[in-house]
Amino acid sequence: MTARDVLARLGFVREPHTWTVPGRDEHGHRVRLKVRASETGVSITVPQSGAIRLHPLDAGRLRRALREAVLAYAALNRDETGSAEVTLPLAS
C-alpha cells in the first residue's frame, strides 16, 4: 500500500490542478505558495502580503508548478480544433 492509498483511505483528496511551493516570509517563517490552474487562468496565492524568500531549489519548484499549471490551463481550454495555444490573462 502506498502513501497515496493511505491518504485516500483517510479521506484526503488532492485538489486537482493545484501545486504548492515552500518558501519563507520576511521573518523567516515557513509559508506555502499555492499555484492553481482553472478555466479562467493561472493564479499564485500567497498566505500573507510581503516578501517571500525562495531557496534556489524552491524557485525551481515554483517554475515547474507554473509550467504544469499553464499546461493544465491549456488542457482545460482546448478549442474545437484541439489547439493548446495559451493566452494568459494578466491581473492588475
Q: Which residues pair with 33 in a beta bridge?
A: 21
- Asked, for residue 92, whether it belongs to a domain, the answer is no
Neighbours of 83 (CB within 10 A): 10
* Domain span at 21: 16-76
pTM for the structure as a whole? 0.70
Task: Say if 85 falls within a structural domain.
Answer: no
Question: Does 71 reside within a domain?
Answer: yes
Determine how many CB atoms are found less than 10 A away from the CB of residue 89.
Answer: 7
pLDDT value at 14 more than 80: no
Q: Are 43 and 36 in contact (CB under 8 A)?
A: yes
Q: Is residue 86 part of a domain?
A: no
What span, in angstroms and rounded, lies between the C-alpha atoms of 23 and 36? 17
Kindly state whether residue 81 falls inside one of the protein's structural domains.
Answer: no
pLDDT in tens, 16-51: 788 889 999 989 999 989 999 888 889 998 888 888
> What is the distance between the alpha carbons of residues 7 and 56, in angstroms, rounded to a whole number?
30
Number of domains in the chain: 1
Predicted pLDDT of residue 76: 82
Is 68 among the domain residues? yes
